[in-house]
Chain A
Amino acid sequence: MNWLIGAVLFLVLAPIAGGLIAGIDRRITARMQGRVGPPLLQPFYDVGKLFEKESVVVTTAQNFYVLAYLIFIALSGALFFAGGDLLLIIFAFTLAHVFLVLGAYAVHSPYSHIGAERELIQVMAYEPMIILAAVGLYMVSGSFYVTDIVTTTIPAVLYLPGVFLGFATILTIKLRKSPFDISTSHHAHQEIVKGITTEFSGSTLAQVEIAHWYENVFLLGFVYLFFAWNPAIGIIAVVVTYLAEVFVDNVTARVRWQAALKSGWFAAVIGIANLAILSYMMLGGA
């Protein structure tokens, strides 16, 4: 029964939490730049406005793909908070992004196609590391199930410092923050028009935005798994990680896609090294 409550709570509360996190993020970003910043509820106003706009969709297939993106992001997050299998969650998560890329390819705008290509590069950059993170958590807790990982008393982050560092790197890609916000960005709206979301407008864009809120909550939940042995430390770690991401976002410039790809794979190499040492230690111990 617990799993159902977790999934339902995620589906209902994650958009609210995600929107608030985005609002806090925008205010902190503004303060870092010496500005006042928008109201806390600004992300909700934005999405509400997008639903009020006229639909100017030319290729109606894109609506289907974007809806599939939203559904699979919500599904992967719901599976996560239901305590499901981490590998299944990651595959559903990847599938969601495949739908987003297909949606951007379905239209005829070359800007949208460049955004889609860059999103694919991002998927290539983060995918190895996110799977290594799941493998690392399995090696520490002996299970791929989130229920088991979250109830383990072993401080996972102490065994997996390299994996956590690598995950933090790809978290920057996933949160669409500088220096890896190559496919689309919250700032610098002039970057190749608007990247992958160029052709999405009105309610379709609102769905992308809501999916992003779901995604952010899910990813912060993933960060929590590394610190799950102590809930208080876990929550502090999630907050600190997110603030660090906002800070990095504001002090770095966007890199080229080559550098983003290399960084993602370098993170994976650190992760593999960490896992190799860990498995050596475990064999030695046994």
Chain B
Amino acid sequence: MAFLKRSPWILHYDASSCNGCDIEVLACLTPLYDVERFGIINTGNPKHADILMITGGINEQNREVVRNIYEQMPEPKVVVAIGVCAATGGIFRECYNIVGGVDKVIPVDVYVPGCAARPEMIIDGVVTALSILEEKRAKMSGAAQMKDDARHAEQAGEST
């Protein structure tokens, strides 16, 4: 089933971004780009989200927050790092408080370049993330299937 690809819900978090990329993320929701055409909804709740869109290079204070949000999201989930700061730390890279990229804290699946990232690029990044999301779902249901089979085999072994 490919419901997941048709209904990706997004959680957007600003991890010490300059706000440039955040404005572009929200621009995707405006009538001009209207990402709800693809079933994309911006939720404010990690427990409802499938895609974590994260901007900024992460500082020491929100490192824990980012990890917490990531862990609260149910599988399958993907992370999209938006803007050059989220990829490498960008112009803030040398700052004493900047961790320097989202992938220093949580696994990232898609990097969207740009300063600020254009809405078209962000939408393209999300569409790329969708195929990864589908892959993860297939892997997840495969793993569940294997676990189930193993359990049945074990029970069969016990009964004989």
- Residue numbers of A with Cβ under 8 A of B are 26, 30, 33-39, 42, 45-46, 48-49, 51-56, 189-191, 193-194, 197-202, 205
Contacts and interface: CB of A to CB of B under 8 A. Distances in A.
Cβ-closest 5 pairs across A and B: A48-B3, A45-B6, A201-B47, A190-B44, A49-B3
Given A36-B37, A49-B50, A198-B45, 20 more contacts: A33-B31, A35-B31, A36-B34, A37-B36, A37-B37, A45-B3, A45-B39, A51-B3, A52-B1, A52-B4, A53-B74, A53-B75, A54-B74, A54-B140, A189-B41, A189-B44, A189-B45, A193-B44, A199-B47, A201-B74
Contact of A194 (B1, B44, B72, B76): B44
Contacts of B42: 189
B48 A39 contact: no
Contacts of B7: 42, 45-46, 48-49
12 contacts: A37-B34, A39-B39, A42-B7, A48-B1, A49-B7, A54-B74, A54-B76, A56-B47, A189-B42, A194-B45, A194-B48, A201-B47
B43 interface: yes
A191 B75 CA distance: 24
Contacts of A51: 3
Contacts of B47: 56, 198-201
A277 B72 CA distance: 56
Contacts of A193: 44-45
B63 interface: no
Given A38-B37, A193-B44, A55 B74 contact: yes
Given A38-B39, A48-B1, A56 B44 contact: no
Contact of B48 (A26, A34, A54, A201): A201
Contacts of A54: 74-76, 140
A45 B4 CA distance: 8
A54 B1 CA distance: 15
A112 B86 CA distance: 31
B18 to A, nearest CB: 21
B43 A194 contact: yes
B8 to A, nearest CB: 8
Contacts of A30: 34, 36
Contacts of A35: 31, 34, 36-37
A35 B41 CA distance: 14
Nearest to B36: A38
A48 B7 CA distance: 9
Contacts of A37: 34, 36-37
B32 to A, nearest CB: 9
A39 B43 CA distance: 19
B106 to A, nearest CB: 17
Contacts of A55: 74
A38 B47 CA distance: 22
A43 to B, nearest CB: 9
A189 B26 CA distance: 13
Contacts of B137: 52
A201 B43 CA distance: 12
